[in-house]
Structure 1
């Protein structure tokens, strides 16, 4: 026999017993407060973008209106025994529906926080305008937030029950899909994994690596179809997580994603066709190894990634380029190395080299003369210039 899901029990004890005049004023504002709460949630919680359209939009609207109606019924009773079951059940079913829609519990709780803020602001203003007494206003505020806490607990319970009853299989399939993408499995195998997971791909995916402590924040702001491998990911630093974020293959979409990740220490890989996600992940891990801080866009560090691709080869190239300076005194060799690097990067502009090295232009002329004596015609050889630029960059 199947055990029924456990609903959270109601614990609200605060009694407000609103004045009928205040209650009428609040009830007249109910529909507008509900609409403003829904619109603000959609505007401030990225996972709910576009949620007004379709059946789920109606479910959200109805859940908000039912919750506010139940609250007013509770607030106008002279005791705490007002029935709350319809609102609690509505919140519970909303949580189950959100789990089926693929939205995370973090997004759901963020929606409750935003909705509570809007509801308290608007209903508080209406109550004050209707002449609510100060003591009653304080109890009213207490009841608002206790009621929201109870509804959010019911929604979390519904979300959890839905994942436990039907989400485990899908999560396993999503994990298999993530592993197939990260391992660069053949296209037919990846497509089959996506179909089993009921996961519809976008044009492209972007790999993201960030500290585990920041994953919840990121998932709230990113596309709800973002994949998070739960198994161990080879090469991933300890305490970090990997995400595969669906996005459009456009500069605008990438900027939007980067804005969503502000405030995190995420390293964002290149946006690639979704079947090539393994390449984005590999580059992201190489960018992590650079040791950069804050939000890092790998597209802004391509030169550093190229130069760091084979550290031993670069060290050998540097040794070969600087071999003619090996017999000089270390201090002289160091000065000439700095001058050669600056001279190459500034295309021989003496004043720019002098400014960078904090020396007189005549000193630059003297050192470049030394370099010409040592290197001869090689300073004009494009192949040598390329080697030296890469070695000293």
Structure 2
């Protein structure tokens, strides 16, 4: 906001004369009104914005800017401060950013304003009898002045977006942490409103290496939350043994139904673990399930991501690892006196027998052994268990106990 600007230097070379200045000053309200009307008509972003009180306010700002210009032009030198007009333009730019209008709309308004203002100012200058060379210098000064005003407004617009962007990002981070901590619905709704975040129907938690985050964010819903600041504050309960510097978390809106297939496809090769879609206020459930799957070391085929919806039985069976271990010891008690190698073979056979509903050929194919070997092992097992293998409750307990590997549990 320097006073020794191009506009101020140009004013030192211009002599409009008192009569022309007075005529121009008298025409300012009319010129300002026509300028605002042209902006409303020609710039779509301002079609409805300048109606009513807002239009009167902007018209007043235009009069102020043009009045400042005339004071500068009539001073014959750089003594008239330019700073107030530039500060007004800067404030205008910030206000337009807060109103949601783009930089393109703001610059378009300046272009239209410059054209209309000069048309009216030049008409008045000619009417006042100014010579051609003075009108030419006058034109140069008008456009230099408007250039400086528009530059100040652009600066204000940019600064406002940067400031509000940082503030909104802090609010979004706070919302993300509240979601992962499972705060109350009322608290979460308030956080969402504060962050100007439009809540979706559902959120899906995705955990993946932080190195893969940047490549996927641009392909996701813009409302996707990415809690990336102070992730370590989540603590072991919500982060496990993951290194905060190496793990990334995404909370993705409305990735349910057919959209889940699309999401899983986009995550291929990114070593991601995808939780279930949950109502947005309960996404903590989705996150904890994805975290549990990572702790278990669940894997997927080829370079696909781990879809927790495909591992529900394992996740249910391992939700209480100590209870699963106790159940396993209980149902395998008949094998505890056998040699470890023999007990392992019989346990493996019993598991496949349960999963294949006693179909001997299928069990043999799964174990890569002869059907007669299956028959021999099952005879041993029936001798050890007796009639208990026909008890539905025992069969249920054995199925649950043997549904996952013996080492399943938090990693």
TM-score range normalised by the length of the shorter chain: 0.5 to 0.7
Q: 1:325 aligns with which of 332, 335, 349?
A: 335
Match of 2:150 in 1: none
Match of 1:345 in 2: 355
Query: Quick one: structure 1 residues 160 and 210, their matched pair in 2 at CA, closer, same or farther if it must change by over 3 Å?
Result: farther
Match of 1:24 in 2: none
Give the drift of 1:158. Answer: 11
Q: Deviations over 1:188-226 (max 9, x none)?
A: 111111111100111111111111111111211111111
Q: Secondary structure at the match of 2:206?
A: strand
Partner Cα distance (2:178, 2:267) in 1: 25
Give the drift of 1:160. Answer: 8.3
- Whichever of the two has the greater Rg, that structure is 2
The answer on whether the counterparts of 1:222 and 1:260 sit within 8 Å (CA) in structure 2 is: no
Q: Secondary structure at the match of 1:221?
A: coil
Give the drift of 1:331. Answer: 3.0
Match of 2:251 in 1: 244
Give the drift of 1:161. Answer: 5.3
Partner Cα distance (2:375, 2:356) in 1: 14
Q: Secondary structure at the match of 2:296?
A: coil
Query: Where do 1:148-163 residues align within 5 Å?
Result: none
Query: Quick one: structure 1 residues 258 and 323, their matched pair in 2 at CA, closer, same or farther if it must change by over 3 Å?
Result: same
Partner Cα distance (2:367, 2:271) in 1: 34
Equivalences, count: 245
Unaligned runs of 5+ in 1: 3-53, 56-92, 102-156
Give the drift of 1:366. Answer: 2.1
Q: Deviations over 1:231-280 (max 9, x none)?
A: 323332111011111115x4112122222323322211100111111111
Match of 1:231 in 2: 230
Partner Cα distance (1:241, 1:360) in 2: 48
Match of 2:120 in 1: none
Q: 1:376 aligns with which of 376, 386, 407?
A: 386
Match of 1:284 in 2: 290
Please give the TM-score of this superposition, normalised by the length of structure 1.
0.57
Q: 2:377 aligns with which of 358, 367, 390?
A: 367
Q: Secondary structure at the match of 1:368?
A: helix
Moved over 4 A (4+): 157-163
Give the drift of 1:308. Answer: 2.1
CA RMSD of aligned residues (A): 2.8
Match of 2:218 in 1: 220
Give the drift of 1:292. Answer: 3.8
Please give the TM-score of this superposition, normalised by the length of structure 2.
0.55
Q: 2:199 aligns with which of 198, 201, 205?
A: 201
